[in-house]
Amino acid sequence: MISIRSNVAIHCADVVLKATAVVALCCATATGFAQTVVATIPVGSLPGAIAVNPSTNKIYVADTNAPTVTVIDGATFATTTIAAPSPYAIAVNATTNMIYVANQQASTVTVINGANNSTVSVPTGAQPGAIAVNPVTDYIYVANGNGNSVTVIDGANNSTVTVPTGGDPDAIAINTVTNKIYVANEDGTVTVINGANNTTTSVKAGSGPTAIALNSVTDKIYVANANSNNVTVIDGATNSTTTVAAGQQPNDVAVDSVTNKIYVANLGMYGQATAPVTIIDGATNKTTTVNVDLAPEHVAINAGTDHIFFTIADDFEIEMINGPNNATSVAPAGVTPMAIAINPVTNMVFVSNFFGNTVSVYSDAPQTGPVGQSITFNSIPAQTEGTSLTLSATASSGLPVSFSSSTPKVCTVSGTTASLSAVGTCTITASQPGNSSYLAAPSISQSFQVNAPIKPPTVVSVSPNSGSGKSQVFTALYSDPNGAGELQSVYLMFNISVNASHACLVKYLPSSNLLMLANDAGTGFLTGIKPGSSASVSNSQCTLLGSGSSWSTSGQKATLKVSLTTQASGSSTNIYMYADDDNGTNSGWVKVGSWKP
């Protein structure tokens, strides 16, 4: 029995696959799940569908935005890429070692020879979105989502036949025992194709079928109806139907033919913390509900371990239900986990992370010794020479992480502190050696730039810096080691203290070439004037004149001439200067002289 829908991958005869999930039904029993990422493998852009060939231990990933198929060696995790114009769904024939990639936008299937990665292109109907293989007959069935048909490919010679279906076919399941193909159509029907002669029968389903799976042992077919919140159960012998209630928005369905249980992933209601998984007893159609994190999108079953896996895209995790007792456990994944494929021979679980452009690998094998672990060590932004940095990384095991530097001339590490002693590239490596329960984690390195410190602007002097008089042109000199062009604003203030209230406070903005005078309250600035203009602006303390005022720069130096007429007060005031620049640094207020109006 084989089942698959858009973004689906399949392998071997008794395998359930659907949407972006692969379900394997073979191998010995197992009891443990290593809830750690054994490996994170970079793949192409926006990986979706994923499929496993258990005979060759090769994993095939549809890079939907590349456009390529990434091939992962399951033993070494090494990768190669194969061109495909718009990969969307994948199916594997483990018997012939041929891989079939439905290219949705190109309306073709790329046929990959697993032995040498050579390819052949086969035309299909419009927008193929789901694909499945019957390894017994060596026929491949492609659901053409915008063509209301299925393209049947003869695996021996790649010749094709077109079979009409209901509207918008979206998912396919094959019973290899009866040689019947079941196509779920979005118009609320299931098209049943007789594989011997391609004749069809239409069976009514619920509203909005999104996924389909079957049990070849009991000859029952299960259709998840997203809009009517139920599952249509079809008797393969008679095409009669039964309706079983599910949760809100069932999005995926998988069958465990060993236990005769059917698992339905319901997206649930937005805003809730959890969503129900509906478990159907295939013998009685009675249901049990197990809550998992919200919005489980896709489901895959490892019948050998009786573990059921769900991708939780919003929480960047996968969740597992232990079949014998319905206990749940969670493992971290990459960004937006989507499809699941399981190799029943190695008990390795592969999850494509759509926006992470990676595949997360987990072990579902019995745990008789140390298990794998992984390290999370986030990237480090550029730092400044002469500073120190507190390092932080976590191991999935919870064991402490140690750090080392491979660039000691630029940075050194002591404990969790990195000292940045020179300009250059600093590379820090995070390690966890493991213990009796955990294997050593793959080391993670992060490299970042150490830059020279940004020196702030300075105030140099004002002239005259002492004296008295009602009218005066003051010449203020500023400097910025990064160049005078970096200066954002400069200030000249006359007051008994650093206080804008009731001060003669002048601000100059180089970017707009405006001189500004603070209001009496010191809460803002009056309308700006151009240096050298005939304009003027006044508050109760002074009048700022455009005539006689100017701004000039040379290298690191900047000169501001300010023409002021002050109100006679009979008491001395201090002269203060201040400058800030585009780097966010400033000189601070500096007293540079005194003046008596």
pLDDT tens-digit map of 89-111 = 999 999 999 999 999 999 999 99
* pLDDT at residue 141 is higher than 50: yes
Point out which residues pair with 427 in neighbouring strands.
Answer: 447
- The pLDDT tens digits for 41-62 are 999 999 999 999 999 999 999 9
HSE at residue 419, side-chain half, CA atoms within 13 A, is: 7
| pLDDT for the residue numbered 230 | 97
pLDDT value at residue 13: 26
What pLDDT score does 555 carry? 95
Q: Tell me: pLDDT of 373 over 70.
A: yes
pLDDT band at 510 (very low <50, low <70, confident <90, very high): very high
Q: If you average pLDDT over residues 339-351, what whole number do you get?
A: 95
At 568, is the pLDDT very low, low, confident or very high (cuts 50, 70, 90)?
low
State what percent of residues in the chain have pLDDT above 70: 93
The per-residue pLDDT for range 145-185, each reduced to its tens digit, is: 999 999 999 999 999 999 999 999 999 999 999 999 999 99
What does the alpha-carbon distance between residue 597 and residue 585 come to, in Å, rounded to a whole number? 32
Q: Quick check: 367 pLDDT over 80?
A: no
pLDDT at 374: 87
Ranking 30-34, 126-130, 422-426 by mean pLDDT, the lowest is 30-34
How high is the pLDDT of residue 368?
66
**DSSP reduced 3-state for 314:** helix
Residues 221-264: pLDDT tens digits?
Answer: 999 999 999 999 999 999 999 999 999 999 999 999 999 999 99
How many degrees, rounded to 5, is the angle at CA 282 between CA 262 and CA 205?
75
Please report which confidence band the pLDDT of residue 36 belongs to, taking 50, 70 and 90 as the band edges.
Answer: low
Closest CA to 73 of 34, 23, 39, 102: 39
Give just the sign of the alpha carbon dihedral 8, 11, 13, 17.
negative
**Average model confidence (pLDDT) across the chain:** 91
State both tokens at 140. 């491949």
Domains of the chain with bracketed CATH: 2-25+44-363 (2.130.10.10), 375-451 (2.60.40.1080), 458-595 (2.60.40)
For position 397, what pLDDT does the model report?
Answer: 86
Instruction: State yes or no: pLDDT of 550 exceeds 70.
Output: yes
At residue 539, the 3 state secondary structure works out as coil
- Is the per-residue pLDDT at 24 higher than 90? no
pLDDT at 3: 38
Per-residue confidence band for 288, with pLDDT thresholds at 50, 70 and 90: very high
